[in-house]
């Protein structure tokens, strides 16, 4: 692999020295473009108290191309499908090179706080979310308990 661009080095350093609250991102030792990410469920959302594992990959063209982000932890959310793929504008058409890993992860966290069932990726979840919001949120809470429970050390 070509040497790591300065931009990625700087971003990585800053993620470690000045981490975003509720979010961790650590690069793999053997591939510095690949990050293990955890995002805490935002308070007040059905995902509260959950810790979600994600993977983040910086493509060769980064920052001209958006990073690729995917949930590894199972999650019940109208904009996240069963494979963990995320429907988020800044990961697609609204990506700009001025955005960063940290801003993207913050957007992901914000998506957990405010799901958008009108622009769904997981259609069944979105339908439930629109028709029976309370029920859908209960399911989301249940899944959070089941799959994203904080492991106390």
Partner 1 sequence: MASDEEYSEAESDDSLYNYESRNTSVDLICPKNPNLTSDDSEFDIDEVDSSDYDEEDDIDNSLLATPVSPSTKKALSEGSVPNLKYECLTTKEIYEKMLKRINHLQPVFSIPPDDVLVLMQHYDWNEERLLEAWTEKMDELLQQIGLKSAEVNGSSDVRGIKHRNDFMCIICCEEKNTDTFSLECGHEYCLDCYRHYIQDKLHEGNIITCMDCSLVLKNVDIDQIMGHASSTKLMNSSIKSFVQKHHRNYKWCPYADCKHIIHLKDTSSLAEYGRLHYSPFVKCSEGHRFCFSCGFEIHAPADCNITSAWVKKAKKESENLNWVLSHTKECPKCSVSIEKNGGCNHMVCSNCKYQFCWICEGDWAPHGKSFYECTIYKNDDTKSKGAQEDPGKQLKKYTFYYRLFNEHEVSAKLDWKLGQTVGHKVKALQDRMGVSWIEGLFLIESIKTLNEGRTALKWSFAVAFYSDASHNLTKIFLDNQMLLAKAVEDLSELLQIKEPETIMKRKPEFYNKSGYVENRRTALMECGRDLLCKGICKPHDG
Question: In this complex, which beta carbon is closest to partner 1, that of residue 16 or of residue 64?
Answer: 64
DSSP SS3 for 52: strand
Contact 26, 36 (CB under 8 A): yes
Whether a cis peptide bond, with omega within 30° of 0, leads into 59 is no
Secondary structure of residue 114 in the 3-state scheme: coil
Told to check if 103 binds partner 1 by CB under 8 A, we report no
- To partner 1, the closest distance from the beta carbon of 125 in angstroms equals 30
- Does position 65 interact with partner 1 (CB under 8 A)? The reply is yes
Among 41, 46, 63, 120, binds partner 1 (CB under 8 A): 63
CA distances 100 to 15, 74, 90, 95, 107, Å, are 10, 25, 10, 10, 11
What's the start-to-end Cα distance of the chain, in Å? 37
Measuring CA to CA, which residue among 73, 76, 66, 83 is closest to residue 142? 76
Among 1, 2, 6, 151, binds partner 1 (CB under 8 A): 6
Nearest approach, Cβ of residue 18 and partner 1 (Å): 15
Q: Is 5 in the site for partner 1 (CB under 8 A)?
A: yes
Minimum distance from CB of 104 to partner 1 (Å)?
15
Residues in 7-26 that interact with partner 1 by CB under 8 A: 7, 9-10
Q: Is 103 helix (H, G, I), strand (E, B) or coil?
A: helix
Q: Which of 97, 119, 124, 133: binder of partner 1 (CB under 8 A)? A: 97
Binding positions for partner 1, rule: CB under 8 A:
5-7, 9-10, 61, 63-65, 96-98
């Amino acid at each position: 692999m070509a040497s790591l661009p300065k931009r990625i080095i700087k971003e990585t350093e800053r993620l470690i020295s000045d981490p975003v609250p509720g979010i961790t991102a650590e690069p793999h030792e053997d591939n510095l473009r690949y990050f293990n990410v955890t995002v805490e469920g935002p308070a007040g959302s059905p995902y509260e108290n959950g810790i979600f594992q994600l993977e983040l990959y910086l493509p060769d063209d980064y920052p001209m191309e958006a990073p690729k982000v995917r949930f590894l932890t199972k999650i019940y959310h109208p904009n996240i499908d069963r494979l963990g793929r995320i429907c988020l504008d800044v990961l697609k058409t609204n990506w700009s090179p001025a955005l960063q890993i940290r801003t993207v992860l913050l957007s992901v966290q914000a998506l957990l706080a405010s799901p958008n069932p009108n622009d769904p990726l997981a259609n069944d979840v979105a339908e439930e979310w629109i028709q029976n919001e309370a029920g859908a949120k209960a399911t989301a809470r249940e899944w959070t308990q089941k799959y994203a429970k904080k492991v106390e050390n």
